[in-house]
Amino acid sequence: MTGALIPKGFDTIIPIEKIIFHPNNKHISIDNKIKKNQHIRYAGSDYKKKDLIVKKGTIIQPFHILAFKTLGVITIKVKKVPNILFFSTGNEISNNKNIVNWKVRNSNSHYIKSLSNNFLFNYIDGGILRDKDEKFFKKEIEKSIKSKIDIIITSGAVSAGKHDFVPSVVKKFNLSNFFKGVSIRPGKPILFAKLKGLDKAIFGLPGNPISSSACFRFFVYPYLLNILGIKSEKPFKAKLKNDYSKNKKIIRFIKARLTSTNDGKLELQALKGQESFRIKSFVEANVWGLFKDGQSEFKKGELIDCYSPIGSNINIFK
Cα distance between residue 212 and residue 93, in whole Å: 15
Q: Read out DSSP for 257-299? A: EEEE-TTS-EEEEEPS--STT--HHHHH--EEEEE-TT--EE-
Q: Model-level pTM?
A: 0.86
pLDDT, one tens digit for every residue, the chain (318 residues):
888 899 999 999 999 888 999 888 788 999 889 999 999 998 889 999 899 999 998 888 899 999 999 999 999 999 999 999 999 999 999 999 899 999 999 999 999 999 998 888 999 999 999 999 999 999 999 999 999 999 999 999 998 888 999 999 999 999 999 999 999 999 999 999 999 999 999 999 999 999 999 999 999 999 999 999 998 899 999 999 999 999 999 999 999 999 999 999 999 999 999 998 899 999 999 999 999 999 999 999 999 999 998 876 655 444
Cα distance between residue 220 and residue 204, in whole Å: 10
Domains and CATH numbers, the chain: 1-41 (no CATH), 47-78 (no CATH), 83-227 (3.40.980.10), 236-316 (2.40.340.10)
Cα distance between residue 90 and residue 86, in whole Å: 14
Tell me the per-residue pLDDT of 200-258, one tens digit each, with 9 for 90 and over: 999 999 999 999 999 999 999 999 999 999 988 999 999 999 999 999 999 999 999 99
Which sign, positive or negative, has the C-alpha torsion 140, 144, 147, 148?
Answer: positive
Asked if residues 57 and 230 have their Cβ atoms less than 8 Å apart, the reply is: yes
Q: What is the pairing mode between strands 287-291 and 201-205?
A: unpaired
